[in-house]
């Protein structure tokens, strides 16, 4: 190990995460890593890097690793607010969920509008600004998306034909797995002042979107893992899934560009789905839907951070982790700058989700990073072996949660019992000031693939 490895958890959790801790120690051995490798409170085993893993590398001497980003590049979460109370929607909930089910393509292999080559290039190179120019939203939306919905450099020449073919029909689709659209009710406010500035109040109806770059990002990860293995056969790796390229190398820069293309795709994917949601709420309630914030949680970012009293450019890998900048950072929208960047940490189908904000302390702890979700407790195969569909549906029904899914298998794989206790994850996150909780939401209706 070149640096130490830290895990933010409690004693009870330690015995459940031994494989992930081993992976984190392997990450700490990579060249150019600075300060330490970190495991967030939702840490669990992943490809190469653990999910819930954070590591920063010197931009001049360090590396970039697809395993530190993941296959679903810029899988992320967007939180939308309405002006509706629970009483405005409860008699229309089934109707709204059904209309969303009909409007948002979901499930394995789901497709949407087929984008031509010119429009596709424009989206992946220019992000949400290009998507808005095609009629999916308003310029005001850009302020409330991480990086204003565009990360550069992003050059289509750095992606394969196969990635383009996989991606061109999936923009504006939810996909499957743990991705969802969820209608939620705000049930608890922890910081009234900040909640008011975010436009959040008790019994308010909000909508959460969780999805990423679909097959496009997956193909880019697959392509570059193979290219790196072909080009760096003689590098020592404690785990071959940690294959990397020096960040400043030609291949490292090409992957960075391709990854940014996938990130822009994912931001645009959530933007198009937002457009569909807005149409449904306008039709049913004649009301507007606004973006609170959109965060990425599978990405490598070139950022400036303080290191030993010096400001350094670092390549910060967050895999299953969320950026959590504190007050004053230039990257934060002016409306939020005085109190910090919004952070969205979802539960999964039947459990609570949380809205938090970044803190100054988080910069000193783990490069302004925080948890991204509950974290899996059971693998998907294990869930299929041990959980029963009827029991899951009965439990959700008892809570008054409506579920629409393209697949019964997905409901079992993504059941609440397959995940860690989100309240516990948030308690640790808030106590350590990785981010500070603002509001708690519970699901009313869930759309899954």
Residues 426-442 pLDDT 10s:
999 999 999 999 999 99
Q: Work out the percent of the chain whose per-residue pLDDT is above 70.
A: 100
Output the CATH code of domain 4-448. 3.90.1860.10
Annotate 413-436 with b (16+ C-beta within 10 A) or e (fewer). bbbbebbbbbebbbebbbebbbbb
111 pLDDT exceeds 80?
A: no
Cα→Cα distances 413→76, 251, 254, Å: 19, 36, 35
Average pLDDT (178-189) is: 96
The predicted pLDDT at position 66 comes to: 98
Average pLDDT (276-294) is: 97
Confidence band for 11, pLDDT divided at 50, 70 and 90: confident
Confidence band for 211, pLDDT divided at 50, 70 and 90: very high
332 pLDDT exceeds 90?
A: yes
Average pLDDT (126-144) is: 97
109 pLDDT exceeds 80?
A: no
The predicted pLDDT at position 43 comes to: 95
For the chain, what are the domain ranges? 4-448
420 pLDDT exceeds 90?
A: no
Mean pLDDT rounded to a whole number for the chain: 95
112 pLDDT exceeds 80?
A: no
The predicted pLDDT at position 118 comes to: 96
- Residues carrying an active site annotation: 372
* Residue predicted with more confidence, 240 or 376: 240
* Residue range 310-327, pLDDT digits in tens: 999 999 999 999 999 999
């Amino acid at each position: 190990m070149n640096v130490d490895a830290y895990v933010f958890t409690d004693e009870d959790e330690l015995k459940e995460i031994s494989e992930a801790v081993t992976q984190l120690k392997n990450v700490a051995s990579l060249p150019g890593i600075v300060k330490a490798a970190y495991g967030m409170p939702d840490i669990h085993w992943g490809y190469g890097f653990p999910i819930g893993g954070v590591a920063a590398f010197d931009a001049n001497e360090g590396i970039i690793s697809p395993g530190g980003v993941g296959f679903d590049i810029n899988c992320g979460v967007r939180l939308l607010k309405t002006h509706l109370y629970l009483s405005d929607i409860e008699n229309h909930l089934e109707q709204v969920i059904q209309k969303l089910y009909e409007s948002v393509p979901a499930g394995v292999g789901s497709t949407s509008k087929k984008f031509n080559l010119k429009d596709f290039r424009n989206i992946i190179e220019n992000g949400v600004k290009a998507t808005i120019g095609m009629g999916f939203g308003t310029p005001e939306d850009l302020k409330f998306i991480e990086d204003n919905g565009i990360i550069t450099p992003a050059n289509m020449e750095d992606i394969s034909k196969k990635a383009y073919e996989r991606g061109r029909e999936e923009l504006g689709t939810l996909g499957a797995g743990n991705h969802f659209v969820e209608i939620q009710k705000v049930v608890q406010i922890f910081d009234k002042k900040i909640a008011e500035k975010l436009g959040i109040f008790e019994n308010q109806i909000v909508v959460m979107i969780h999805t990423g770059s679909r097959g496009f990002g997956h193909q880019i990860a697959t392509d570059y893992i193979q290219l790196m293995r072909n080009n760096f056969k003689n590098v020592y790796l404690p785990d071959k899934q940690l294959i990397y390229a020096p960040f400043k190398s030609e291949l490292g820069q090409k992957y960075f560009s391709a990854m940014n293309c996938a990130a822009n795709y994912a931001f645009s994917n959530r933007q198009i789905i937002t457009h569909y949601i807005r149409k449904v709420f306008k039709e049913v309630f004649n009301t507007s839907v606004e973006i609170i914030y959109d965060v990425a949680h599978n990405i490598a970012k070139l950022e400036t951070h303080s290191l030993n009293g010096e400001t350094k450019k670092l390549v910060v890998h967050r895999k299953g982790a969320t950026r959590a900048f504190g007050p004053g950072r230039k990257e934060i929208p002016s409306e939020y700058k005085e109190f910090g960047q919004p952070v969205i940490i979802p539960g999964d189908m039947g459990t609570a989700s949380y809205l938090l904000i970044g803190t100054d302390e988080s910069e000193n702890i783990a490069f302004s990073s925080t948890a991204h979700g509950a974290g899996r407790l059971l693998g998907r195969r294990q869930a299929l072996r041990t959980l029963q569909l009827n029991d899951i549906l009965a439990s959700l029904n008892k809570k008054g949660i409506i579920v629409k899914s393209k697949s019964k298998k997905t409901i079992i794989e993504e059941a609440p019992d397959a995940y860690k206790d989100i309240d516990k994850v948030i308690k640790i996150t808030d106590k350590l000031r990785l981010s500070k909780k603002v509001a708690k939401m519970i699901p009313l209706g869930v759309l899954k693939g």
